[in-house]
A and B are shown apart, each in its own frame.
Chain A
């Protein structure tokens, strides 16, 4: 066995009592490309944040041995000093600063104490850019004049400028097109030759099986296995099996057969362009329909465009140049504003309930009636406070929201209870279709179960429900039918009888291959 550069032993990390990582072990050899695979929420990013000191030593259990010595990183600076650099999924660039300034952000080249040496900065920036194949770029240009692909490379240049020994890339190709991705992968192989060790987190299994020397699979916060190139089977199917092979116990309430009625909502030829990049199609000609009493899932990898689709549908809240038609009960309707969408009986709960769902400083009562206040809880513009209290109490009881009273601020509730308030808010608008975007993100198992029960009840009472979720088991446990979305397109539709994780993943992979074949 080759020399190990990094050992993470028995890492356990809890978030308010919930184990995100449970006795995770990771061994990385010097000079290899090591891939971390797992579903969304499996704990890959958490593990890397533990390693890089985002979660300081002491907030987790277990130990980190790096280059033979046990390390206790208190912050990112500590780990960077040792040569560990992490590049996060979201770009950490300041858009209006120049390329050179960005490359040395937090690592400024100084001559005297605190005074920046601009000549040195530019010279070294140029060198760093050359190392990632961007030697021809003007280091004085603001970073936002570059495309996302090049910005990603700048992030890597930034890491290279820090004398990196262990480079961690979290979903580096998620925002890149095929050509840019290929370039980045070649770059990783080049770094390998230079002796840099890489850890890569990626959903794109074809990329992983291409570059990686070994793969560690993480599932539900546990390490499942480590596969080695040349020793173990190294195919995409094999990786998928490791990632999803989990048994479904009764984490989902049983769905009673409820009669599926007529089509409630149909969306035709829905196309949306990126809000800033005018010629980038984010949603490309999506057609879906959902019937009364039906729960339909939207599956796809992160960045596939599911949330963008839902937001653009709901009051054109995302994107530009939106085209396509929405039919409710066979009649075409407009959803140009949120008010239109609500009036036409569409409800949407955001994946980010704190930013888009709730007024955290306000109480349960006001949040519950926020979207329906003008329609159902007022007369001539004057709020009927008694009705409001009754409705809020009613929903609190129905959803089993745990709070001292309906006058409690929602900011002080747990995630699960906040989500119940969001659901109550939209049920109060008496919608026909509910689009639930990641309805159980970040909430505990018990609250999840309760929310699935609410979804079942909604379907049984004749509502149409669309669930967007990155957790495939959740979709399998709750949905009648799943649309698989990949890169803004419908990659396929999977009916309940064929609904397995393997089938959904295969649909995505095949769609990727088809796309690859076109180019």
Chain B
């Protein structure tokens, strides 16, 4: 059989990145460039870091064909506990964080037991944890805000990595940010070379050269744009580091490990997965425990950025996280989706929120636009799949 030398890139997997660039461009025009200032790029990352973390965890739930509605409440409850311990009990910050993570874990285990071992539908269980978690938060905080939190706490959400500033143009730039951009560029190029090498070794076709160049050029330009913007502001936010590590870990788990493969198999066909020796209960259990833990991390970061914990925190963020997964190409029926897709989805939501606020669109109406984008993205996804068949 003759092998084709080159194949066209699967455009669909990059469609959302393109959409992200287009949306950003649109707001660039509408806000007369205000959304591309270094300060705003920094804000974009700071405001959406915790959503990205939640979207990463939510993707695992979505891969099984389910969702977790309790996320926002766990965010609030864990942050409330940490905040209260630091402010009113005089606990050290690390100890209060440990408790917050513990709360997330307990909430996760609680939901997971009902879902995995008692076969209660996740929708119902997590609707219950949403109500219970929110109620506990209000009770704990007596409906009041706790704050302001000390700097050692807020650093993780609002602080920056150490920076080495040098003069650049009319202002200054952080060398660390530039260094990160250089390293990232090298990584992209090296991994592309490795893919080509593997393809050649096994006789798989490569992607048409010009498409590969365009794709990588876009990625590299994006990275340089973000990193230089951050460099011209205050340097790399600590949050970005944390989000980056979490995304990297979950990208690795979903794409390279047996555990990740089991999640996809379960989502694609639970009965077949079970009859292939996959302990589907255990997979379900750990997915929801994990979601609890990540919610607690998101809670710590959110309270740190806000400098306070209040009972309304994270209200409705589960829906943002779910929407991020769907916008990022995950299938509602399960079995399809990637961590990178969910991250891009979260960024699309973030850029939309940020852009609409900048051009002064009323918050009430912003929801209409977000809903339309979600619906549009998923419709596009479903229709393009249908055409392929």
| Complex-state Cα separation, A363 to B274, whole angstroms | 18
Interface string of B170-189 (1 = CB under 8 A from A): 00000000000000000000
Residues of B within 8 Å of A429, CB to CB, are 277
Verify if A348 is at the interface (C-beta below 8 Å from B): yes
Is B274 within 8 A of A338, CB to CB?
yes
| Complex-state Cα separation, A371 to B258, whole angstroms | 11
A381 with B272, Cβ < 8 A, contacts A362-B264, A362-B335, A370-B265 known: no
Count how many chain A residues have C-beta atoms less than 8 Å from C-beta atoms of the other chain: 33
Interface string of A385-401 (1 = CB under 8 A from B): 11001000000000000
Is A371 within 8 A of B277, CB to CB?
yes
Verify if B106 is at the interface (C-beta below 8 Å from A): no
Is B257 within 8 A of A381, CB to CB?
yes
- Most chain A CB neighbours (cut-off 10 Å) among B256, B275, B279: B275
Residues of B within 8 Å of A348, CB to CB, are 275
> Which of A27-35, A183-191, A278-286, A349-357 is found at the contact surface with chain B?
A349-357
Verify if A56 is at the interface (C-beta below 8 Å from B): no
Q: Of A355, A359, A374, which is within 8 A of B258 by CB?
A: A374
Of all chain B residues, the one with the shortest Cβ separation from A378 is: B258
Verify if A382 is at the interface (C-beta below 8 Å from B): yes
Verify if A342 is at the interface (C-beta below 8 Å from B): yes
A339 with B275, Cβ < 8 A, contacts A361-B335, A362-B265, A366-B265 known: no
Is B257 within 8 A of A382, CB to CB?
yes
Residues of A within 8 Å of B202, CB to CB, are 386, 389
Verify if A306 is at the interface (C-beta below 8 Å from B): no
Residues of B within 8 Å of A405, CB to CB, are 204
Verify if B259 is at the interface (C-beta below 8 Å from A): yes
Is B277 within 8 A of A338, CB to CB?
yes
Chain A residues numbered 64-101 whose CB sits less than 8 Å from any CB in chain B: none
A370 with B258, Cβ < 8 A, contacts A337-B279, A362-B268 known: no
Of all chain A residues, the one with the shortest Cβ separation from B260 is: A383
Residues of B within 8 Å of A341, CB to CB, are 277
Is A361 within 8 A of B271, CB to CB?
no
Q: Of A355, A370, A382, A383, which is within 8 A of B276 by CB?
A: A370
| Complex-state Cα separation, A360 to B261, whole angstroms | 15
Closest Cβ–Cβ distance, residue A29 to chain B (whole Å):
46
Closest Cβ–Cβ distance, residue B387 to chain A (whole Å):
14
| Complex-state Cα separation, A364 to B274, whole angstroms | 18
Is A373 within 8 A of B258, CB to CB?
yes
Verify if A358 is at the interface (C-beta below 8 Å from B): yes
Residues of A within 8 Å of B272, CB to CB, are 355-359, 370
| Complex-state Cα separation, A371 to B265, whole angstroms | 10
Q: Of A337, A360, A381, which is within 8 A of B269 by CB?
A: A360
Verify if A425 is at the interface (C-beta below 8 Å from B): yes
Q: Of A314, A361, A378, which is within 8 A of B275 by CB?
A: A314
| Complex-state Cα separation, A370 to B272, whole angstroms | 9
Is B256 within 8 A of A359, CB to CB?
no
| Complex-state Cα separation, A405 to B202, whole angstroms | 12
Verify if A315 is at the interface (C-beta below 8 Å from B): yes
Verify if B238 is at the interface (C-beta below 8 Å from A): no
Q: Of A317, A362, A382, which is within 8 A of B256 by CB?
A: A382
Verify if B273 is at the interface (C-beta below 8 Å from A): yes
Residues of B within 8 Å of A339, CB to CB, are 277, 279
Residues of B within 8 Å of A357, CB to CB, are 272, 275
Is A338 within 8 A of B268, CB to CB?
no
Verify if B336 is at the interface (C-beta below 8 Å from A): yes
Closest Cβ–Cβ distance, residue A295 to chain B (whole Å):
22
Closest Cβ–Cβ distance, residue A314 to chain B (whole Å):
7
Is B261 within 8 A of A317, CB to CB?
no
Residues of B within 8 Å of A317, CB to CB, are 274-275
Q: Of B269, B274, B278, which is within 8 A of A358 by CB?
A: B269
Chain B residues numbered 249-269 whose CB sits less than 8 Å from any CB in chain A: 256-262, 264-265, 268-269
| Complex-state Cα separation, A373 to B262, whole angstroms | 9
Residues of A within 8 Å of B275, CB to CB, are 314-315, 317, 338, 348, 350, 356-357
The 8 A-B residue pairs with the shortest CB-CB distance, nearest first, are: A359-B268, A371-B276, A342-B277, A359-B269, A338-B277, A370-B276, A339-B277, A378-B258
* 24 interchain pairs, CB-CB under 8 A: A314-B275, A315-B275, A315-B277, A338-B276, A338-B277, A338-B278, A339-B279, A350-B275, A356-B271, A359-B265, A359-B272, A360-B268, A360-B269, A362-B265, A362-B268, A362-B335, A366-B261, A366-B264, A371-B276, A373-B262, A374-B277, A378-B258, A383-B256, A405-B204
**With A338-B277, A373-B262, A383-B260 given, can you name 19 additional A-B contacts, CB distance below 8 Å?**
A314-B275, A315-B275, A337-B279, A341-B277, A356-B275, A359-B335, A362-B335, A366-B264, A366-B265, A370-B261, A370-B273, A370-B276, A371-B276, A373-B261, A374-B277, A378-B258, A381-B258, A382-B258, A425-B276
